[in-house]
Amino acid sequence: MTPLFALSGVPLAQVRFARALSNAGHDVDLVIGKIDSQYKLPDVGGARLCNLHKPDVKSMFFPLVRYIHGTTPDIIFSAEDHLNAIVLLAALTTRSKTKISCSSRVTPFDTYSNSLFTKRWVLKQVMRAVMWRADALTCVSKDMVKQYKQVFESPNHLCVYNIVDDRHSRKNLLEHVDDDWFANKQQPLLVAAGQLAPWKGFGDLIRAMDRLGPSIQARLVIFGDGPLKAELQELIDGLHLSTKVRLFGYVENPLKYFSRADVFVLSSHVEGLPNVLVEAMMCGCTPVATDCPTGPREVLQDGKYGYLVPVADPAALASGIEQALNSPIPKDLLSEAIRPFSEHAVIQRHFEVLGISSTSTVDNEKP
């Protein structure tokens, strides 16, 4: 389950998860609160789509009560804390015996508050009251598990990664690209992707391009859209980087571009677990990432699988890019790094946390 399908990591991860469970032989419903009209839902494989057409999480409560009562699923996998609370309330209302796994995807410091009677404070009280009903409480990074232990008293959160490396994504790597920078590559190519928003640090990345040494003739393409698009383009023009840096906009399949690039740069100020970083490594890109909370250090294993640099430091980011271009990470190391994010490994971990075998679950499961 996910509240909204849009171009962001959480719903895309849930689509991958539903598709992988279906491919593994399970009977799967993909329940979505609303699908943003701007975006096309990716292929969900054999999973059945259940679009509730609800504008926000609160309005999903009664439809979820009816869904749980009517379909009696064996397992529900829910993502994002607001929806997790609603799912647990719906299960309690119906007295359902369904196993429920609640996944947290962003830092709890941005989700909950101790300021009395604010929305985030109310959510914290609700979650504190109902989290006992969850059969599994998971986070997408080990560092995030530590954060939850600071916010709640002795929570039972465990780390379970998102699926990133799956068969569908591997096919996307092979799609044709007709953009000249990629199809007729004449210079090393850097790529980055994400919402053009302040916390993604794309301004730092553009400034880093201006600080590259004179011997580095590299180009940068940033995929994504968002509120800072005009401001970032103005920065590019102001630094006279228009022949070296492009804002490419939204693309349905960035992986085909990543697979033709040399370096992927994550310039974020904060993350949950950056799926796009793992995607780029799957595509063979040498990663350069800010050491932001949470995820990059964990994914790159303290620098074993890529280059870590300080947050909001264009000079350090430029240095990391130069190192990555001069000393790429070998492909076998990148393959080793992404193994925990494979569909088999993640499904096995989910069922392990729930205390059941992924091979012994019944055929009519509706995760």
Q: How is the chain split into domains, by residue range?
A: 2-163+342-354, 167-339
Task: Give the pLDDT band (50/70/90) at residue 120.
Answer: very high
Task: Give the pLDDT band (50/70/90) at residue 363.
Answer: very low
Ramachandran area for residue 343 (φ above 0: left; ψ -120 to 50: alpha; else beta): alpha
CATH assignment of 2-163+342-354, given 3.30.70.3420, 3.60.15.10, 3.40.50.2000, 3.30.465.10?
3.40.50.2000
Please give the pLDDT value at position 358: 56
Is residue 366 over pLDDT 80? no
Q: For the segment 257-297, what is each residue's pLDDT rounded down to a tens digit?
A: 999 999 999 999 999 899 999 999 999 999 999 999 999 99
Quote the CA–CA distance of 236 and 177 in Å, as a whole number.
Answer: 24
Q: For the segment 135-153, what is each residue's pLDDT rounded down to a tens digit?
A: 999 999 999 999 999 999 8
Contact 222, 248 (CB under 8 A): yes
> Bridge partners of 342?
165
Q: In this structure, which amino acid lies at residue 311?
A: V
Is residue 359 over pLDDT 90? no
CATH class, 167-339 region? alpha beta
What average pLDDT does range 340-363 have in this prediction?
A: 83
Contact 310, 288 (CB under 8 A): no
Which pair of structure tokens corresponds to residue 116?
């009395």
> Bridge partners of 100?
76
Is residue 360 over pLDDT 80? no
For residue 105, give the nearest of 145, 140, 142, 152 by alpha carbon. 140
> Who wins on pLDDT, 349 or 365?
349
Please give the pLDDT value at position 361: 46
Contact 358, 24 (CB under 8 A): yes
Is residue 65 over pLDDT 70? yes
In order of 191, 271, 295, 367, the CA distances from 47 in angstroms are: 32, 29, 29, 10
Quote the CA–CA distance of 309 and 346 in Å, as a whole number.
Answer: 28
For residue 219, give the nearest of 259, 250, 256, 192 by alpha carbon. 192
Task: Give the pLDDT band (50/70/90) at residue 40.
Answer: confident
Q: For the segment 165-210, what is each residue's pLDDT rounded down to a tens digit?
A: 999 999 999 999 999 999 999 999 999 999 999 999 999 999 999 9
Average pLDDT over the chain, rounded to an integer: 94
Q: For the segment 79-106, what is each residue's pLDDT rounded down to a tens digit?
A: 999 999 999 999 999 999 999 999 999 8
Please give the pLDDT value at position 153: 85
Q: Which of 38-52, 62-76, 154-168, 207-221 has the lowest mean pLDDT?
A: 38-52
Q: Is 214 exposed, middle or buried (0-12, 13-18, 19+ CB in 10 A)?
A: exposed
> Who wins on pLDDT, 155 or 204?
204
Q: Do domains 2-163+342-354 and 167-339 have the same CATH topology?
A: yes
Contact 159, 138 (CB under 8 A): yes
